[in-house]
Amino acid sequence: MASKKNLVPTILFIFGGSGDLTNRKLVPALYNLYLENYLPEKFVIIGVGRTTFASDDEYRGKLLEGVKQFSRTKKEIDEQWGDFSKNITYHELDLTADETYSHITSWINDKAKEWNVKPIVIFYLAVAPQLAPAIATKLSEQKLCIDSESTRMVFEKPFGHDLQSARELNQILGKMFKEDQIYRIDHYLGKETVQNILAFRFANTLFEPVWNCNYIDHVQITAAEAVGVEDRGGYYEQAGALRDMVQNHILQLLCMIAMEAPTSFDANEIRNKKVDVLNAIRKINPEDVHANTVRGQYSSGWIKGKEVVGYRQEKNVNPQSSVETFVAAKFYIDNWRWQNVPFYIRTGKYMHEKTTLITVHFKEAPRYAFPGEAVETWRPNRLTFSIQPEANIKMRFQAKRPGPNMILNPVDMVFNQKEEYNGYEPEAYETLLEDVIEGNPTLFMRADQVEAAWKVITPIMEAWANRQPVDFPNYSPDSWGPEDAEALIARDGHNWVSLTSKNKE
């Protein structure tokens, strides 16, 4: 099968090849890329892990189960899986041992000889974050990443635990590798509608003139999850919603909305514009943290007829834990474009519905000539980017209701991706893996972005650490979080937008 893009033959090592991420996300994404002809004509995927498999076939069988369960395309599994999976092998190896890397070196040399070309070599670290520095050091010592043009490393989040540890990690990596070789994943950046924000803003002339504090009243970003912490209690105890979702995904969404127009689509140009936003976010003073943020933790309760335990009763969670599973906050961006426009963000586990939504609320018109009864249901213009579960963009405006009288009603203009493109909705990991193979780091986090994002949340982390929450648990599952989160936005005369399936506002 010839690649659409004539890509250089590629060797992809997945460290953590027997893990959950490989099974749920990476291999289903790679398989979809294969089906759609986006992989290089010559490629191999080499899983490396500690689990024992009797043979490559047994490993492939496990991956196939993952594809069947988690891939967005199911129909061609039987026909093409065989052709795809013959490029996959597995090796049970210890990633802390030197000889592992000697094997890796000889496999790369063998392939280069067989293909008669210098391949692109990617090391995907789908491993526990604490292993990453040691693995990176081995790769460097064994000179496996010496050619920065043809070798790349992919790091999953979390990237550091706070500003200090992120800096240290960046410094370690910076001494061994070129920044261009380092791909720090924030999978939200690969989501279709997230990328569409760039297209919407910078491929249309219509919106830029009103995209500022003169016309925009406020912005809301919601990333609500319907699940709890599941089996990740141990990890989550070290993280909490602020580190897990706000430091990365939510701040990246905010950057997409708030960034200035790039002068080109060059990866660094786009990342420069985003880092400018992070640097312009107003530092919350320690004494103001409690007025501008809300944290929450879920109690036990019921979700769709099923009883669920509270966060403190989850596996590997301290029964007195003060870790937050919900965050709401208000940020300001101190620059000419956004002065005094509040950006409200919220995210939480066990919310009423899974939804990731950005709403841009425009200011009221200065005056209405319509008679009083015409504007009873009047609402300001609002632009909605729905990132998931539906991918769509909606513009709310006023229109006349049919009938003899002039009555105005808010209506939506809608771009629905599924309808427009016959249900075609690639997964974030497909886009991101393809970008790594092609060597395009635009949608990946640069070292300074990661650090700037940590700086934004540092005052919140510190203030929360100094004042333990006394009201935890403070929200029930299947809700929209603690009441204080409603109060945070209500104080400014607004309310959170939730486009639930039952209540399409």
Q: ω before 473 within 30° of 0 (cis)?
A: yes
Query: Whose Cβ is closer to ligand BG6: residue 9's or residue 348's?
Result: 348
Q: How far is CA 38 from CA 29, 189, 228, 417, in A?
A: 11, 19, 35, 21
DSSP 281: B
List Cβ neighbours of 93 (8 Å cut-off, separation of 6 or more).
48, 49, 50, 100, 103
Contact status, residue 262 vs residue 269, Cβ threshold 8 Å: yes
Q: Which residues contact 337 (CB under 8 A, 6 or more apart)?
A: 211, 212, 213, 258, 260
Question: Between 238 and 285, whose beta carbon lies closer to ligand BG6?
Answer: 238
Residues that bind ligand BG6 (CB under 6 A): 157, 225, 244, 356
Nearer to ligand BG6, 40 or 158 (CB): 158
Give CA–CA dist 465/459, Å, rounded: 10
From the CB of 323, what's the least distance to ligand BG6, in Å? 12
CA distances from 151 to 33, 109, 146 (A): 20, 14, 8
Task: Give least dist CB 231 to ligand BG6, A.
Answer: 12
Planar angle of CA 494, 495, 499, nearest 5 degrees:
135
Catalytic residue among 249, 290, 352, 361: 249
The answer to whether 361 is a known catalytic residue is no
What minimum distance in Å lies between the beta carbon of 365 and ligand BG6? 35
| For ligand BG6, the closer CB: 225 or 434 | 225
Least CB distance to ligand BG6 at residue 469 (A): 20
To ligand BG6, the closest distance from the beta carbon of 290 in angstroms equals 25
DSSP per-residue letters across 233-265: HHHHHHHHHIIIIIIIIIHHHHHHHHPPPPSS-
Q: Which of 113, 100, 114, 115 is CA-nearest to residue 123?
A: 100
Q: 70 or 207, CB closer to ligand BG6? A: 70
Q: Which residue is nearest to ligand BG6 (CB)?
A: 244
Which of 356/392 has CB closer to ligand BG6? 356
Bin 493: left if φ > 0, else alpha if -120 < ψ < 50, else beta: left
- Distance in Å, CB of 435 to ligand BG6, minimum: 17
Angle at 474 between CA 473 and CA 475, to 5 degrees: 105
- Positions annotated as catalytic residues are 249
